[in-house]
Structure 1
Amino acid sequence: MPKYRRLVIKLSGQAIAGSAGFGFDKDRLNHLAREVIAARDTGVEVAVVVGGGNVFRGNRAEDWGIDRVEADNIGMLGTVINAVLLRGKLHELGEADVRLMTALPINNLAEPYIRLRALRHLEKGSIVLLGCGNGQPFTTTDYPAVQRAVELDADALLVAKNGTDGVYDADPNKVPTARRFDHLTYQQVIDQGLGVMDQAAFILARDHHLPLHVFDIDRPGAAAAITTGSPIGTTIS
């Protein structure tokens, strides 16, 4: 039995790129699609917010000599590329009912994001992919991940990390003695300056009492296990 009724999963673009950190890895895409299906198969309703950092990052605007708004527009298009890839893989794995909704209208590829329509798709058992962030510049996809989870009345947000199995008191790749937390409160994260997600997104989660599960998406079955209450990664509530 699932612990939750409805979840939003935040997938980064880096998770699709794999170890290269940029571009696409077909094995990673296959793994991510199977993880999404496994979570939904526990009986929970699943929406997925897809990042785009493997295609383009808005904070690279200065490197390219363009303004930040244009750079963020490119980044939002990158999320759509990833979402279409994920939708195609989900279909190839036998999922017939996958809905891609975007905050910016791209009518030939996706439905426009309309909250009540997204809720209806979830209630019918569709996997809902959400692209283009929230359609606005100057935000990472952390913020729309929390925003969509709150809008869609999700019971929790699963923050999928690539190669990191939770929240630590230091960078475990640099500090061998770094300690992983099983559970944190919102205030502990703020007081200790722990890097969970961008601050605006985290404050939004705190203000709406949205539980966060930070976990390693590389661990097979992790997302599905979280939906049934297994203590995986770090829980923030």
Structure 2
Amino acid sequence: MYRRLVVKLSGQAIAGGDAFGFNRERLTHLANEVIALRATGVQVAVVVGGGNVFRGNRAEDWGIDRVEADNIGMLGTIINAVLLRGRLAALGADDARLMTAIPINNMAEPYIRLRALRHLDKGAIVLLASGNGQPFTTTDYPAVQRAVELGADALLVAKNGTDGVYDADPNKFPDARRFDHLSYQDVIDRGLGVMDQSAFILARDHRLPLHVFDIDRTGAASSISTGTPVGTLIN
């Protein structure tokens, strides 16, 4: 169904049930899901978040400038990406390439769009870290931005413990209804919190399909790549 996909992984997915830090079992699960996705024949890039290390919106709590806080968050995404690359290699995917928007040449390549495309065309898994290198954005925006830049057919928005988009918080309202399909305008009209508004508008403007799904569900990403309805499709 798809030729090239970008997966947006949050730092929380790496932390598992904890608010911060790392979980070995979760990391292994995520690496296996990425490998299984590539095994379906699609090209795979992964945008990695860093919320399990530090969140830029906590700048005031720590008494530091927001730009500095966002810089720390971007470094957190690199830590997570190096961890994921290491686990991928240990599981046999030793061709995973890590690219960062912030130069850190001793352990990663700088993000260059054409080079990333060449890696994808050769079948490598491309890990994208440090967002887009700029403060005042979460990883939602660069996830959409990279998907558009790389000509991805869709963005897989991996959620941790939520299997799609609901009309209310399913953790608070047991009768909340999950949507199988939504248009971009439906999301805006209903005020549904799929991702940051700026990121969502960018996806809408470039007609980038969004698959919102539960990364905890084994094989969910692979099923999406082969056309099986999973989670919520927004297009």
- TM-score bracket for this pair, using the shorter chain length: over 0.9
Matched ranges for 1:167-178 at <5 A: 167-178=165-176
SS of alignment partner, residue 85 of structure 1:
helix
Structure 2 unmatched ranges of 5 or more: none
Equivalent-residue separation in structure 2 for 1:46 and 1:193 (angstroms): 30
CA deviation after TM superposition for structure 1 residue 21, in Å: 2.0
Cα deviation, 1:186-210, whole Å, max 9, x if unaligned, reads 0000000000000000000000000
Equivalent-residue separation in structure 1 for 2:151 and 2:170 (angstroms): 33
Which of 2, 7, 12 matches 1:4? 2
SS of alignment partner, residue 17 of structure 2:
helix
> When the two structures are aligned, how many residues end up with a matched partner?
235
CA deviation after TM superposition for structure 1 residue 131, in Å: 0.2
**Which amino acid letter does the alignment assign opposite residue 126 of structure 1?**
A
Which of 106, 109, 121 matches 1:111? 109
Structure-1-length-normalised TM-score = 0.99
Q: 1:75 matched to which residue of 2?
A: 73
CA deviation after TM superposition for structure 1 residue 96, in Å: 1.7
Equivalent-residue separation in structure 2 for 1:16 and 1:25 (angstroms): 6
Q: 1:207 matched to which residue of 2?
A: 205
SS of alignment partner, residue 215 of structure 1:
strand
Which of 101, 106, 123 matches 2:121? 123
SS of alignment partner, residue 9 of structure 1:
strand
Equivalent-residue separation in structure 2 for 1:17 and 1:134 (angstroms): 22
- After the TM superposition, which parts of structure 1 deviate over 6 Å for at least 4 consecutive aligned residues? none
Q: 1:84 matched to which residue of 2?
A: 82
Equivalent-residue separation in structure 1 for 2:195 and 2:20 (angstroms): 20
Q: 1:147 matched to which residue of 2?
A: 145
Q: 1:33 matched to which residue of 2?
A: 31
Cα deviation, 1:11-61, whole Å, max 9, x if unaligned, reads 000000000121000000000000000000000000000000000000000
Matched ranges for 1:154-173 at <5 A: 154-173=152-171
Structure 1 unmatched ranges of 5 or more: none
SS of alignment partner, residue 20 of structure 1:
coil
Equivalent-residue separation in structure 2 for 1:87 and 1:95 (angstroms): 8
